[in-house]
Structure 1
Amino acid sequence: MKQELLKKYSVPVPRYTSYPPANFFNDSFTAQSYKEAIIASNTQDPEHISIYIHIPFCYQLCYYCGCNSQLFRNDDTTNSYIEALKKEIRMVLPLLDHNRKISQIHYGGGTPTSQPVSVLKALNEIILSEFECIEDPEIAIECHPGYMDELYWKELLDAGFNRISIGVQDFNKDVLKASNRKETRTPIEDIVKILQEKNVPYNMDFIYGLPLQTPETFAETIKKAIELKPDRIVTFSYAHVPWVNELQKKLEKAGLPAIETKNKLYETAKQLLLEAGYKSIGLDHFVLPEDELYEAEQTKKLHRNFQGYCTRRTTGQVYAFGVTGISQLATAYSQNSKDLDAYIHMVNNGEYPIAKGYILSEDEQITRTVISTLMCNYAINWNSLAEELHLSTDRIKSALNYSQSMLNEFERDGIIEYDENHIMIKPEATLFVRNVAASLDKLITANSENRYSKSI
């Protein structure tokens, strides 16, 4: 990749895990707004229900983390939080049409596996006792292997989880120490054996762009992952946002890799994974050829919600529970309070713990579909989108910041091919998809003061 292109396009742009990005949420969105949006969602697409449950607690805080997490206080606080979670779930479920089906349940954090398996199982049972599931729903959990012994892994699978995300981040001990990340407690080979014996699919998650990582050391990490042959390997780009998490400043002291080095980390991993038979999916996923995500990518039907990449079969509107949880509905976003005590207090008083949210205009709903399509499939076919949205191509483009001069610049730089009917990111330039997406976004071009992580 030409160094001048890396420098030119390594600028702050949204990650587009949602549209509009969460920094556009505002406090004019109230608990009543949330209730109305939930009721409206029953007649909107996608029809399926996707549940997100947030467990914020961690035994120690990793310096790189940009998630909403906090250190354990005491057992009383933790128990109060879990009871509030159950109450919040029971407040929302009656608003949902019970003819709809569960397609996903996902636990994130923080550290969801900081809780006893019995707690996680009880939360699942509240939901699953109320709704039927689609065939082969995804019941997934993010796991911190630094604190899980063999018995915990086995109990977790017996509790009904059928997709496991192992947060390895790096196998290099020095990198983990510099990032304040605890090493895996149970040998990774033993964890894999437990999962394989139960025939449970799993992915291993890694982060590139951390202190002390070099292309050579990261290659060793990826080679080890390939030997273990997880169904999916995820290579997340470290997002440096110290204004969100001050702990990230500690990584500055340890020394973050330059843009060129960070790109080399990714390219090294990508080459190794492709040579090993994995297929590239979206920005950061690599999957085995038989994975349904690969089939969706091949047919240009890959999708993404807050749970990550998914297929049209498994996607659903996301109903989030817990402190900071963000619900992702057809026409609205809603975020719970970020304050743990306030969250518990509001739920115990029978209030929806809403802090802020966003109602999407028609133009923004169109833009969301366009950007999601581009981010997932690296291509936009305007005629196909027009058919999907029941709109003219002119109407779709009018909702966007559709600029031929900007598209011409991307084309000159070798990033895209385009004409009046399509835009396609070139295979060697997928690293710049966030830049192309941002160029189509009226909100971002009109609000340049918002701060984001760099695209590379």
Structure 2
Amino acid sequence: MQTDIIEKYNRPVPRYTSYPPANFFGDFSEADYLAMVDQSNQARQNQISFYLHIPFCKHLCHYCGCNSYPQAKPEVVKAYVDALHKEIDMVAQHISSGRQIAQIHYGGGSPTSLPIEMIKELNEHMLSIAPTIERPEIAIECHPGYLDAQQWQQLAACGFTRYSLGVQDLREDVLKTVNRRPSLMPVGEIISLLHDSGATVNLDFLYGLPLQTADSFRLTIEQAAEWRPDRLVTFSYAHLPKLFPRQQILDKVGLPEQKEKGRMYDVAAEVLTAAGYQPIGLDHFVLPNDELAVALSKGQLHRNFQGYCTRRTTAQVYAFGVTGISQLDDAYAQNGRDIHAYIETVNSGQLYVKRGYHLTAQEKLVRQVIEALMCNYALNWNDVAEHLGVSAAAVKEACGYDEARLSEMQADGLLRYDADHIDVNTCGRPFVRCVAAAFDPLMAHTDKQFSKPI
């Protein structure tokens, strides 16, 4: 990756897990949210996705930018899970019959900090609300530092179809520096156990942490590729100590320089491509027969707060738990972050919705353009226009189309374009967020904070 291109385009821009991004959300009420839930029943895409946020962690990693909290006392954990069940029932009353569940996703925090019996009961509760599509995705994020073989077997009996293991790095000195516990069992054995249950497995890694180098990260990714998980994810560590004060600890140790961090991405991509994995989106690498790879080849890859998905599993997201974000056709809604206030509010028969966003007609056009670029590295203006029932000119106008900016990115080797198409080149993919931001009117004048692509 050329140094001058990194310096020019490695600037703070949204990750675009939603459009508009979550830091544009404002005040939103329970009534606002329930009105949007009722309206979501009439949306063209009306499959159901449930997201559960489990905020607890046995140890807080210094790098974490998630909505995580120290492990609570058992009675608080039970009260929180009981409130999840109640919130699920309150929202389910507004979901029309006849719809199908396409996705269930547990995020955190560390969802596997819960007793596994509680996880099983939550799954059973959600699956009782509506029938599923054929082969739904039921996924859970797992911290491998706390589960032994018996617990993995118990988790495998809960009905999950995909497990995401937060390995982060294989060097114990790196993990110790960032306060991350290494895997309790050999990672390769965990993968084999979960594969035997019929599920898919992805391994998550972070690059840009203290003590990491491109050479050490190469060794980590080479070992990971030998284990042959279905997917590997190489997240760029986002250092935002003003937003996440615990990250200030890492400043004292020191972070890799930008050039070295860029090399980490390059060596990971090189190793995984040579091992037969295909790049997907910002940070995923998957085996060629993976559903995501097939969707990308057809230009049908999608994305939500839970990650990449296919058109088959695309759904409207109803989120439960503190800080959970619901993604509906016309709006986003986010719960508050105080665990005790969440429990108290739900137990009183109310939802804990605090923030959200109503999308305008223009923003729905922009959302479609940004999603196409972020997911499929390509955009056909006419296809987007046809899908939305408007003219290509109207879509371009909504996005503030500026040919001069496209011409500059084409000259820099990031993309190719003509009047009807944009195709992001391989070397431009690490900066696809910058390409997407060029079509985001909200980025013209904003004081919001974002992370850098690399």
Same fold (TM over 0.5): yes
Amino acid at match of 2:186: P
User: In the TM superposition, what are the counterparts of 1:34-53 in structure 2 within 5 Å?
Assistant: 34-53=33-52
What is residue 247 of structure 2 aligned with on the other side?
248
User: In the TM superposition, what are the counterparts of 1:124-143 in structure 2 within 5 Å?
Assistant: 124-143=123-142
Alpha-carbon distance between aligned partners in 1 of 2:192 and 2:419, rounded to the nearest angstrom? 51
Cα deviation, residue 426, structure 1: 1.0
Structure-1-length-normalised TM-score: 0.98
The answer to whether residue 353 in structure 2 is matched with residue 354 in structure 1 is yes
Amino acid at match of 1:395: A
User: In the TM superposition, what are the counterparts of 1:178-189 in structure 2 within 5 Å?
Assistant: 178-189=177-188
What is residue 448 of structure 2 aligned with on the other side?
450
Alpha-carbon distance between aligned partners in 1 of 2:256 and 2:97, rounded to the nearest angstrom? 50
1:161-189 residue CA offsets vs partner (Å, 9 max, x unmatched): 11111110111111111111001011212
The answer to whether residue 103 in structure 2 is matched with residue 101 in structure 1 is no
Say if 1:45 and 1:317, in contact at 8 Å, map to a contact too. no
1:126-174 residue CA offsets vs partner (Å, 9 max, x unmatched): 1111210000001110000000011110011111111111110111111
Structure 1: gaps spanning 5 or more residues: none
Cα deviation, residue 51, structure 1: 0.5
What is residue 22 of structure 2 aligned with on the other side?
22
1:348-398 residue CA offsets vs partner (Å, 9 max, x unmatched): 111110111000000001111100110001111111111111110011011
What is residue 303 of structure 1 aligned with on the other side?
302
What is residue 7 of structure 2 aligned with on the other side?
7
What is residue 429 of structure 1 aligned with on the other side?
428
Describe the SS at the equivalent of 1:405: helix
Alpha-carbon distance between aligned partners in 1 of 2:352 and 2:387, rounded to the nearest angstrom? 35
Describe the SS at the equivalent of 1:199: coil
The answer to whether residue 161 in structure 2 is matched with residue 162 in structure 1 is yes
Cα deviation, residue 316, structure 1: 0.4
Deviates more, 1:265-274 or 1:191-200: 191-200
Describe the SS at the equivalent of 1:446: coil
Structure-2-length-normalised TM-score: 0.99
What is residue 208 of structure 2 aligned with on the other side?
209
The answer to whether residue 44 in structure 2 is matched with residue 74 in structure 1 is no
Cα deviation, residue 338, structure 1: 0.8
Alpha-carbon distance between aligned partners in 1 of 2:258 and 2:169, rounded to the nearest angstrom? 19
What is residue 31 of structure 1 aligned with on the other side?
30
1:319-354 residue CA offsets vs partner (Å, 9 max, x unmatched): 000000000000100000111111111111111101
What is residue 238 of structure 1 aligned with on the other side?
237
- Percent identity (aligned): 51
What is residue 384 of structure 2 aligned with on the other side?
385
Moved over 3 A (4+): none
User: In the TM superposition, what are the counterparts of 1:335-374 in structure 2 within 5 Å?
Assistant: 335-374=334-373
Deviates more, 1:17-26 or 1:121-130: 121-130
Deviates more, 1:212-221 or 1:411-420: 411-420
1:186-225 residue CA offsets vs partner (Å, 9 max, x unmatched): 1212212211222221111111111111111111111111
Cα deviation, residue 73, structure 1: 2.8
Describe the SS at the equivalent of 1:450: coil
Structure 2: gaps spanning 5 or more residues: none
1:43-71 residue CA offsets vs partner (Å, 9 max, x unmatched): 11321100100100001101111110000
Amino acid at match of 1:385: V
Say what the alpha-carbon RMSD is for the aligned residues. Answer: 0.9
